[in-house]
Amino acid sequence: MALLEISGIGRRFGAVEALNAIDLSVEEGEVFGLIGPNGSGKTTLFNVLTGVYPPSAGEIRLDGAPIGGVRPERIAGMGLARTFQNLRLVPHMSAFDNVWLAQHRRPGMGMRDILAVGGRKERARRDEVEALLEQTGLAARRDTFAGDLPLPDQRRLEIARALVRQPRLLLLDEPAGGMTPLETREMADLIRTVAAPGRTLIVIEHKMDLIAEICDRLCVLDFGRKIAEGPPGRVLSDPKVLDVYLGREDGDD
Ligand SMILES: Nc1ncnc2c1ncn2[C@@H]1O[C@H](COP(=O)(O)OP(=O)(O)OP(=O)(O)O)[C@@H](O)[C@H]1O
Ligand SMILES: [Mg+2]
C-alpha cells in the first residue's frame, strides 16, 4: 500500500475547477515532484491534503486512513506537515522560538508541554530544536528574529518548523522560490538530507533543475488536471509537458 493514495480528487472555487479528477499515489520514502504552470492547482492540492479545504470530490488516504475533509490539526497529528509558498513565520520571534512553538502540532503534544519549563523532557526537546537549526544551517542565527532573516534562511526556517513535528509525509511548497542559482543548489542539498532517513516528500517547484535533481517521480498539473506522471527524464521531455511550458511565462513565486 502506498503511503498516500489520492483518487478522483476535485476542488472547485465557484466556476474555477482548481483540481479535476486527480489520481496519484506516493510510496513511502519517495521524493515526489509536483509541477505545472502558475494557477495549475499545485498549492490547492497541498491545501486539500492538509485539510485547509475539503475536496469537492474524491478520496484521500494516508497510510490507509481516509483524510479527505478531516480537520488540519488532526491531519497534522497523523504525521503530515507542510511549508507555505508565502511563508508563515512569526516575524518578531527568534529562529529558535519559531521552531520551538511549532512543536505543539507534533503528535501527542499540546501547548501545555510547550509551556512547561524545566525537566529532562524539556531539555531533550530543546536539544532537538537546536539539532534542527544545525541541520537547516541556521545555528548561527538561532537568536535572530525570523523577520530579519534573508529569504533563503526564512525558507529554511519553515522547513525546520515542519520537521520538528516529525512528519512521515512532508509537503514543500516552492522551497527555492525567489532564490539565486547558488541558493537553489544549497536548498537541493538540504532537501536531500531531509529525505535521507527514508522520509516521504512532495515538492512543488518551478525550478526544473532542482526538481530533476531531487525527485524520484513527477506529476504535472495543467488547469487542475494531471497531464503527465513518471520519472523526471521522461516527464520533462514529454511533448505535452513541453507544450504547457513553452510560450507560457512562469514566475518563481
Ligand atoms: N481560496 C481560493 N478561492 C478562489 N480561488 C482559488 C482559491 N485558491 C486557489 N484558487 C484558484 O485555483 C486555481 C489554482 O490555484 P493554485 O494556487 O493552486 O495554483 P498553483 O499551481 O499553486 O500556482 P502558483 O505556481 O502560481 O503558485 C487558480 O485559478 C486560483 O485562482
Ligand atoms: Mg502555488
* 19-41 pLDDT, tens digit each: 999 999 999 999 999 999 999 99
Could you report the per-residue pLDDT of 38-89, keeping only the tens digit for each? 999 999 999 999 999 999 999 999 999 999 999 999 999 999 999 998 888 9
Pocket probe mutation, ligand 1, options 9, 12, 16, 219, max atoms within 8 Å of Cβ: 16
The residue assigned the cell 482548481 is 18
Closest CA to 191 of 135, 149, 230: 135
Provide the mean pLDDT of the chain: 92
State the Cα–Cα distance between residues 184 and 207, nearest whole angstrom.
8
Per domain, the residue ranges of the chain are: 1-79+167-253, 90-166
Over range 229-248, report the average pLDDT. 89
Cα separations in angstroms, 123 against 98, 127, 129, 160, 197: 17, 6, 10, 18, 24
| Mean pLDDT on 229-245 | 93
Query: Which value, to the nearest 10 degrees, does the dihedral of the CA atoms of residues 159, 161, 163, 167 take?
Result: -110
Contact residues of ligand 1, CB 6 A cut-off: 13, 16, 18, 36, 38-44, 85
Architecture of the domain defined by 1-79+167-253: 3-Layer(aba) Sandwich (3.40)
Tell me the DSSP string of 64-81: TEE-TT--HHHHHHTTEE
CA 143/CA 138 separation, integer angstroms = 10
Looking at residue 247, its pLDDT comes to 57
